[in-house]
Amino acid sequence: MKLRNSLTGLGMSAVLALGIGGAVAPAAHAAVGATGAATVQAPADHADYTSKDPRTGRVDKGRAESAGRAGQGAPPARATLSCHSPQLSGRVFAVTCSGQAYRVFVDCSNRVRYVTPVLSGTRRVAVVCPAGTTAIGGGAFGR
């Protein structure tokens, strides 16, 4: 009888261990890449942007580069920079600005701020956060 209870206890321990191990194993393997090393996704080093001149209809496309952490205060806008109609939707921040030399930025949910190259004139600028992130804010600075 003692032997049977011991074997039953051992069998239950094995079932519990395998049950827990079976639940944990797939999650552990899900994070392992093809090389067997754990994969960690680094923030993207750029976002994409388009700018459109509302007068001529000319569209320019390019990369908005990473410029540090999201949420940092925007540099002060000078009196000659005028922006209006900001829009925030999903991965996109868009705004219309008019100035001599300005940059538009977007703060993304990966805690990175992406900034366009220097723009000039009147332009409708849309900056798109990298895939897998969302736009959480944005703005413009310059003159």
Looking at residue 13, what is its pLDDT? 43
Of all residues in the chain, what percent carry a pLDDT higher than 70? 62
- In a shared domain, residues 50 and 68: yes
User: What is the reported pLDDT for 72?
Assistant: 55
Nearest C-alpha neighbor of 48 from the set 139, 108, 126: 126
Residues 89 and 127 in one domain: yes
Does one domain contain both 54 and 109?
Answer: yes
The boundaries of the domain holding residue 31 are 1-40
The CA-atom distances, in angstroms, between 113 and each of 3, 53, 66 are 67, 24, 6
Domain count, the chain: 2
13 and 62 together in one domain = no
In terms of domains, do 104 and 70 share one?
A: yes
One domain, residues 60 and 94: yes
Q: Contact at 8 Å (CB) between 60 and 49?
A: no
Per-residue DSSP letter, 10: H
pLDDT for 56 beyond 50: yes
25-29, 116-120, 134-138: lowest mean pLDDT where? 25-29
At 69 the pLDDT is: 61
Q: What is the pLDDT of residue 2?
A: 54
Pair (53, 91) in one structural domain: yes
